[in-house]
Amino acid sequence: MFSVDERKSSNVLSDWHRSLAAAIRDPAELLHELRLGEFAVRVSAAAAKAFPLMVPRSFLARMRPGDPDDPLLRQVLPLDDELQPVAGFVSDAVSDAEFRTAPGLLHKYHGRALMIAAGSCAVNCRYCFRRHYPYGDEPRRLDDWEPALEQLRTDSSISELLLSGGDPLMLTDARLGQLIERLEAIPHLRRLRIHTRLPIVLPDRVTDQLLAMLTESRLTPIVVVHSNHAAEVVADCEAALRRLVRAGVTVLNQAVLLRGVNDSVDALAELSESLINVGVMPYYLHQLDRVAGAAHFEVDPDVGRRLIAELRKRLPGYAVPRYVQEIAGEAHKTVIE
Ligand SMILES: *Cc1c(COP(=O)(O)O)cnc(C)c1O
Ligand code: SF4
């Protein structure tokens, strides 16, 4: 996370910081931009207070003006539905807390560990499974990472380090570079995986410096982006993904199956096609984690199974994502078959 000092010390903000600063934070403004002013009554002030709206203008530009059911809009608009308590939907839906082996470090699966590298995102997705995560408790300054780094040094079974969040690309290139340097110094680490939605929602973030950092690292870079709909993979986002792929980075996509966003064969097939056309491999389609406030996005797993079966008839085998669910206590994400 960039500190205020760091931003002050460079006289000019980078383009992506400027784009981030210009993100829309007012639901009424978002709807006005989309010529949907009359739908402002649908917005829940209480939901927006609990988890604020945040939408970069690049993402807004890919929404259809005049369409209250736009699949991109639906992912970000705070609604009253979020406030309804629904049995089974809880704060820590994936029991992350018990796998925290050091501040900011989650070690759940064999061979890979995950660092909560930043607490914020450039977009607030209403279904986010980390919307209740206590980010305030995680490390902020580089030195705060020392216990996590020490844990990684002493466990030679870990060969892959995941940077997650929040969104790890909310770190400045300078800060990310310092962290990667420390990780490179751990001999048994071989791969660096970055889980980020920024190439999708804030494509400016794919800077030349970032590409250089990833491709020049001793660690093999894998970037896992998060796109849920083909309408996201256009324009500046499409260009940013191409740049990552052409630089030689393995780029995978994970999506979440969301009611009213991508719960149809057409939507999922178009998403996969858009991704593979730019060289991004569909990796996971996640069953929604049952986080409080997200129940209205849930799709029945039987429907999900049928959608995947239909996708298999339409797409190359490599373009069909694995349909998975996070089940607490399992040694891996569980494939729903
Ligand atoms: C999902 C996840 C991973 C990565 O799992 P893969 O199946 O390798 O993609 C690692 N650590 C945690 C805590 C996770 O939730
Ligand atoms: S980008 Fe990812 S971590 Fe951030 S709000 Fe969206 S789903 Fe959550």
What are 5-29's pLDDT values in tens digits? 444 445 567 899 999 999 999 999 9
| Alpha carbon distance 103, 252 (integer Å) | 27
| Alpha carbon distance 47, 15 (integer Å) | 30
Asked whether 125 lines ligand 2 (CB < 6 A), one says: yes
197 CA distance to ligand 2 centroid (A)? 7
44 CA distance to ligand 2 centroid (A)? 20
Closest residue by Cα to residue 285 from 309, 136, 189, 77: 309
Measured from the Cα of 283, ligand 1's closest atom is: 9
Q: Is the pLDDT confidence value at 270 over 60?
A: yes
Question: Quick one: pLDDT at residue 98?
Answer: 84
Question: Quick one: pLDDT at residue 156?
Answer: 98
**Against a cut of 0.85, is the pTM above it?**
yes
Average pLDDT of the residues in 65-70: 97
Question: Quick one: pLDDT at residue 12?
Answer: 66
| Alpha carbon distance 58, 275 (integer Å) | 18
195 CA distance to ligand 1 centroid (A)? 10
288 CA distance to ligand 2 centroid (A)? 13
Question: Are 172 and 2 a contacting pair, CB within 8 Å?
Answer: yes
Asked whether 34 lines ligand 2 (CB < 6 A), one says: no
Better-predicted residue by pLDDT, 11 or 51? 51
| Alpha carbon distance 296, 308 (integer Å) | 21
Ligand nearest to the CA of 98: 1
Measured from the Cα of 284, ligand 1's closest atom is: 9
Measured from the Cα of 108, ligand 1's closest atom is: 13
| Alpha carbon distance 55, 33 (integer Å) | 12
Residue 98, token pair as written in the block: 């018990």
Give the per-residue SS3 of 276-319: HHCCCEEEEEECCCCECCCHHHCCCHHHHHHHHHHHHHHCCHHH
Peptide bond before 104: cis, by omega within 30 degrees of 0?
A: no
Closest residue by Cα to residue 307 from 259, 253, 274, 275: 259
Write down the mean pLDDT value for the chain. Answer: 93
Express each pLDDT in 96-139 by its tens digit: 778 999 999 999 999 999 999 999 999 999 999 777 777 777 88
Question: Quick one: pLDDT at residue 97?
Answer: 79
Express each pLDDT in 152-186 by its tens digit: 999 999 999 999 989 999 999 999 999 999 999 99
Q: Which helix (H) or strand (E) holds 225?
A: strand 220-226
Percent of the chain with pLDDT over 90: 86
Asked whether 190 lines ligand 1 (CB < 6 A), one says: no
Give the chain's domains with CATH numbers: 4-83 (no CATH), 97-335 (3.20.20.70)
| Alpha carbon distance 171, 2 (integer Å) | 6
Q: HSE (CB half, 13 Å, CA atoms) of 253?
A: 34
Closest residue by Cα to residue 288 from 280, 275, 299: 299
Cα angle 122, 35, 264 (rounded to 5 degrees) comes to 65
Ligand 2, atom 6: closest residue by C-alpha: 125
Asked whether 130 lines ligand 2 (CB < 6 A), one says: yes
Pocket test for ligand 1, best of 95, 106, 109 (most atoms within 8 A of CB): 109
Q: Is the pLDDT confidence value at 95 over 80?
A: no
CA torsion through residues 205, 54, 72, 51, sign: positive
Asked whether 198 lines ligand 2 (CB < 6 A), one says: no
Asked whether 130 lines ligand 1 (CB < 6 A), one says: no
Express each pLDDT in 210-268 by its tens digit: 999 999 999 999 999 999 999 999 999 999 999 999 999 999 999 999 999 999 999 99
Measured from the Cα of 124, ligand 2's closest atom is: 5
Residue 118, token pair as written in the block: 């930043």
